Structure formats: structure tokens, C-alpha cells
């Protein structure tokens, strides 16, 4: 009997060993179940042999108190464990800030609730991002079955990184089915916009006008081609097609954006009314027009309250030399406030051989035009380059900084869906096409500027409007008298009262 009792005493040790084995896995050759079950059996046998001692121990008051304490501790631990389990399964946070700084907007919540399937959000880095984890917890809190968030180390899983075109750490990708969208800044607005892009049932189509010696969107050999731009647009989940209005005198119904990339000869008289009608119905147009060329759209531009200057912009600051460019490639480092340029602050774009553009007045037009970006201060629009040298001539040249990009918009009225292409007509005019060509698209932020313009024209940035919340200023301004009162009350009176009370109680007990 004593021998069995000694063997049974190994029961608790075997249970602990089995648990440790289960935690670190495959340390021993014996299956973990055998170790655990044997330990439980021996522990039960040990308790059987120790019944008399257990009964006598429970008759003592100290044991009863100790048992009650252990039971209460187990109950509290069980309650806390259940709360933690429920909190893990059902995420819920309460945002007590008046501006709701840490909650999803109503727009984002509606987007998640309307999803038909799960969207994958992949963050590529060695370590998780705490801020992104918190944001994803909010998305999951709306519907955890619709958001699948993972942190992936691209070095440990290079196949996933290659599949999504990951080239550096800290990149975020939103994927749905066969579509994926990179997010430059993983914030609520960007994440929700990306979700909308990858989940839309039909891709929007960007048409490039041809037939006027524009750059070829399928030519990836020539510097003047736009094959790089085409590929970049397609990577944003758009379709890209070309159109010749001379051969097919109609702009397709699925045209979301019409791009005129550097036309060198004027459009046909039949083409201009088609573009005019397209824009009036809420269509979107981008015109990239180089110096010494014309598309024959002067009257149409005037209607849109914009115009092209007949000059070449010269930048004498010397900054362009840092990029291996001459003074005829003005560099832009400052941008006006607009959806197209909001992500370009503290960055550079440049425009080889550009002309200046401007806004014009037209009382009979409902369009509103505004400047996107300008050249640097020591620049001007040179009107005479035939002499072989460039210098600013007062009265003849346009003094810098000069405008290089302009947008024009008009609200479209009416409910005729067949004739209406959008709620707002939008036009982007840039006095250069080279910045988006194969030669310069990937230089500095040129490509980003072009793609931002395409997205704005396609109205993708307006699919969701999540404005940043502003923290309210809740600081209290104290006068000298108030500061003095606060000092004496908090640092002298209250601590002094507690000290005096303690001393009086101590003296009284003595």
C-alpha cells in the first residue's frame, strides 16, 4: 500500500510535465495524452490514499478559510477569463471623446456592412503596426467576418510579397478576389477608399484620345510613349483604352476619363462638339498640352475658364540641375490645397519644356477654375526663345511663379440619367505632357501627380469622404490669482489636512 502511495505521489508532477510537454511540443517520444492521463489517474489515487488527512485538515478553521479564499480566487479568475474571452470574440470599444477621434466614420461603417465577402488587408513588415492593429480592430468591430487582417514578413513569405508587388517594408495592400490595391498611408480614408476600389463590380475605363500625334499608350520603347502611364493606371484597377473620334464620332458610355496626352495637331471640327457635350453632361477630361502645339480647343478652354499661354517656362533657380535637367524644366515643390495634390507636400515634380496656364474670366460660364501648382519664384514664361538665350523681359514675358496646372469644375443639374455622366464636370489642364511620358513618369513624384489626377477625375476620391477629426482645445487658462489658489489648495491644504488628521488619530489612540 505504501508503495502505491509513493507512486501516486508522482501524479501532480506528471500532470505538470504533461502540460509543459504540450506547450513546447515533441520533447518526449511518448504521446502527451498518455502522460496527462497517467498523471490524472495517479493524482486521483493519491487523493484516495490521503482521504483521512484531507478530512482532518478540513475540520480546521484555517483550512476552511483558506479553501474559501481559493474558491473565491478561482471564481474571480473564471469571471475575468470569461470576460476576456467574450471581449476577444466580440470587439467593442467606447469612444468618450466629443469629436469621436478613435471611432470609424459612419461612411466607413456603411462600407464594411455592405460588403458581400471578406476583404483581406495585408501589412508587410517584420513587426505588426500597433496603430494599424487598433484601426483594424475598429473595422472588425463592425463585422469581423468581412475584414481579414494579417501582418506578413515579406522575407519569410516572399511569394505573397511578389504576388502583391511589394518592394519595401511597411506597405499595406487591400485585396478582394483577384483585385488588389496598395495603400500609401494606412489611415481610415485610404483604407476605405481602397476597399471601395477593389470591391466595385465593374472597373472604370480611362480612354486616351488618338489621331493627333499623341504619345502611344502601347509604346514602351520611345521616350514620348505612355505605356508606363498605362500600366500604372491599370494597376489602380482601371481599364485603359484608346479612342479615335475621327473614325468613331462618339464618346463611349463607359468612358470615365478622357485623356488628351500631348496632341500636336488640332482636333477635327467634328471632335470638339463631342468633347464639349461630354463635359457638359458631367464627363471628365485631362488635357496635357506642350508648347508650340495646339489642339484647337481655345474656345472650349475659355468656356471652362482656363487658357494656355504661348510661352516656355524657364526656371533660373538652378534646382533642376540636381535632377540633371536644364532651366527649361521647371521644378515644382509647392502645391495648392486640392485632392490631387494633398499627398504631394514636401515632394518634387518637374515638367520638361512646359508652357504656363492661367484662369480666365467668363461671365457666361458656370465653370469654376482654380490653380493646382506653380513654378518657383525665380522663373518666368519666356515668349521669345528664337534668339538662343532666355532672359526675363518686363511686359513681354510672364513673371513667375507661373501656373503649370489648373482644374475646372461645374455642377451638373438635371435628373436625365441617359444624358448625365456624373454630378460634376471636371477638367484638368497641364502645360506639359512629357512629365507623364515613359521618360519621366517614374522620376520624383511625376507619376503620383498623374495618377492622382486620374483618380480625382474618375471621382474615386469622392466615393468616401472621411475627414480627419480635429481635437478640441480643452486647455484652461488660469490667472495669477487662480494659480495661487490652486497651489495652496492642492499642494498645501489637502495634504496638510490629511497629515494633521493622521497625527490627531495617532495621539488619540495613544
Q: Which residues have CB under 8 Å from 356's CB, separation 6+?
A: 309, 311, 313, 375, 381, 398, 402, 403, 404, 431
Alpha-carbon distance of 286 to 290, in angstroms, equals 13
Other beta carbons within 10 Å of 238: 21
Interacting residues of 343 by C-beta distance below 8 A, sequence separation 6+: 184, 185, 448, 452
pLDDT reported for residue 150: 93
What is the predicted pLDDT for the residue at 28?
45
Query: Selecting from 3.40.50.12160, 3.40.50.150, 3.40.30.10, 2.30.40.10, what CATH number does the domain 106-193 have?
Result: 3.40.30.10
Q: Is residue 69 classed exposed, middle or buried when 0-12, 13-18 and 19+ CB atoms within 10 A define those classes?
A: exposed
pLDDT beneath 50: ranges in the chain? 24-29, 418, 462, 465, 467-468
Q: Where do the domains of the chain lie?
A: 2-89, 106-193, 204-309+356-375+404-457, 476-510
Do 46 and 11 meet the contact criterion of CB atoms below 8 Å apart?
Answer: yes
Instruction: Tell me how long the chain is.
Output: 510
Is 207 in contact with 255 (CB distance < 8 Å)? yes
**Domain 106-193 identical in fold to domain 204-309+356-375+404-457:** no
Closest CA to 183 of 168, 175, 197, 171: 171
Q: Which residue has the cell 466615393?
A: 463
SS (H, E, C) 104-127: CCHHHHHHHHCCCCCEEEEEECCC
First to last CA, the chain: 61
What pLDDT score was predicted for residue 6? 57
The DSSP letter of residue 115 is -
Those residues whose C-beta lies under 8 Å from the C-beta of residue 445, and which sit 6 or more positions away, are: 344, 347, 348, 349
Strand order in the sheet with 119-124: 147-152, 119-124, 171-176, 179-183
Q: What is the C-alpha separation between 392 and 398, in angstroms, rounded?
A: 8
Where is 491: in which H helix or E strand?
Answer: none
Q: Is 209 helix (H, G, I), strand (E, B) or coil?
A: strand
DSSP calls for 433-452: SGGGSTTTTTSTTHHHHHHH
324: left (phi over 0), alpha (psi -120 to 50) or beta: left
Distance CA 348, CA 332 (A): 6
Which of 3.40.50, 2.60.120, 3.30.1490, 3.30.2420 would CATH assign to domain 204-309+356-375+404-457? 3.40.50
**Closest C-alpha to 304, from 276, 342, 262, 263:** 276
Phi, psi of 314 (to 5 degrees): -115, 130
Spatial CA neighbour of 105 closest among 229, 193, 211, 11: 193
Separation of alpha carbons 226 and 55, rounded Å:
90
Q: In angstroms, how far is CA 93 from the centroid of its own chain?
A: 23
pLDDT value of position 187: 85
Residues 6+ apart with CB under 8 A from 201: none
Give the phi and the psi of residue 345 in degrees, each rounded to 5. Answer: -60, 145
Task: Please identify which residue in the block is written with the cell numbers 477635327.
Answer: 268
State the pTM of this model. 0.64
ω before 401 within 30° of 0 (cis)? Answer: yes
The answer to whether residues 375 and 313 touch, using CB atoms and an 8 Å cutoff, is yes
Helices of type H across 221-297: 227-235, 271-280
Amino acid at each position: 500500500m505504501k508503495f502505491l502511495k509513493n507512486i501516486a505521489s508522482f501524479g501532480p508532477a506528471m500532470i505538470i510535465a504533461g502540460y509543459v510537454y504540450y506547450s513546447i511540443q515533441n520533447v518526449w517520444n511518448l504521446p502527451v495524452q498518455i502522460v496527462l492521463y497517467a498523471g490524472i489517474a495517479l493524482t486521483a489515487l493519491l487523493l484516495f490514499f490521503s482521504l483521512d488527512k484531507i478530512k482532518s485538515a478540513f475540520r480546521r478553521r484555517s483550512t476552511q478559510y483558506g479553501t474559501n479564499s481559493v474558491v473565491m480566487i478561482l471564481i474571480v479568475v473564471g469571471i475575468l477569463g470569461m470576460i476576456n474571452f467574450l471581449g476577444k470574440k466580440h470587439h467593442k470599444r467606447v469612444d468618450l471623446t466629443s469629436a469621436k477621434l478613435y471611432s470609424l466614420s459612419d461612411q466607413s461603417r456603411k462600407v464594411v456592412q455592405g460588403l458581400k465577402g471578406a476583404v483581406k488587408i495585408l501589412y508587410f513588415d517584420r513587426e505588426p503596426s500597433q496603430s494599424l492593429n487598433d484601426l483594424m480592430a475598429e473595422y472588425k468591430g463592425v463585422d469581423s467576418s468581412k475584414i481579414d487582417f494579417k501582418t506578413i514578413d515579406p522575407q519569410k513569405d516572399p511569394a505573397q510579397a511578389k504576388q502583391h508587388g511589394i518592394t519595401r517594408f511597411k506597405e499595406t495592400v487591400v485585396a478582394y478576389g483577384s483585385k488588389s490595391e496598395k495603400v500609401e498611408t494606412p489611415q481610415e480614408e485610404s483604407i476605405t477608399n481602397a476597399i471601395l476600389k477593389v470591391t466595385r463590380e465593374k472597373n472604370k475605363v480611362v480612354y486616351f484620345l488618338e489621331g493627333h500625334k499623341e504619345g502611344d499608350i502601347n509604346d514602351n520603347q520611345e521616350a514620348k510613349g505612355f505605356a508606363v502611364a498605362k500600366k500604372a493606371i491599370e494597376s489602380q484597377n482601371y481599364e485603359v483604352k484608346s479612342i479615335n473620334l475621327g473614325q468613331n464620332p462618339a464618346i463611349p458610355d463607359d468612358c470615365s476619363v478622357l485623356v488628351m496626352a500631348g496632341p500636336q495637331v488640332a482636333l477635327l471640327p467634328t471632335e470638339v462638339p463631342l468633347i464639349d457635350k461630354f463635359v457638359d453632361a458631367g464627363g471628365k477630361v485631362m488635357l496635357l498640352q506642350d508648347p508650340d502645339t495646339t489642339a484647337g480647343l481655345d474656345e472650349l478652354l475659355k468656356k471652362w475658364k482656363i487658357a494656355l499661354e504661348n510661352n516656355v517656362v524657364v526656371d533660373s533657380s538652378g534646382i533642376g540641375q540636381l535632377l540633371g535637367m536644364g532651366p527649361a524644366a521647371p521644378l515644382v515643390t509647392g502645391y495648392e490645397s486640392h485632392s490631387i495634390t494633398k499627398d504631394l507636400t514636401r515632394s518634387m515634380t518637374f515638367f520638361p519644356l512646359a508652357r504656363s496656364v492661367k484662369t480666365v474670366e467668363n461671365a457666361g460660364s458656370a465653370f469654376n477654375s482654380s490653380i493646382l501648382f506653380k513654378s518657383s519664384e525665380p522663373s518666368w514664361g519666356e515668349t521669345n526663345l528664337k534668339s538662343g538665350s532666355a532672359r526675363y523681359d518686363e511686359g513681354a514675358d510672364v513673371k513667375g511663379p507661373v501656373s503649370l496646372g489648373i482644374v475646372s469644375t461645374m455642377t451638373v443639374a438635371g435628373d436625365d440619367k441617359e444624358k448625365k455622366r456624373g454630378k460634376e464636370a471636371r477638367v484638368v489642364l497641364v502645360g506639359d505632357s512629357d512629365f507623364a511620358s515613359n521618360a519621366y513618369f517614374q522620376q520624383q513624384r511625376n507619376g503620383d501627380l498623374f495618377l492622382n489626377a486620374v483618380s480625382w477625375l474618375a471621382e474615386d476620391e469622392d466615393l468616401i469622404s472621411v475627414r480627419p477629426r480635429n481635437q478640441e482645445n480643452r486647455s484652461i487658462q488660469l490667472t495669477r490669482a487662480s494659480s495661487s489658489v490652486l497651489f495652496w489648495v492642492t499642494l498645501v491644504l489637502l495634504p496638510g489636512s490629511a497629515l494633521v488628521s493622521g497625527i490627531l488619530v495617532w495621539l488619540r489612540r495613544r
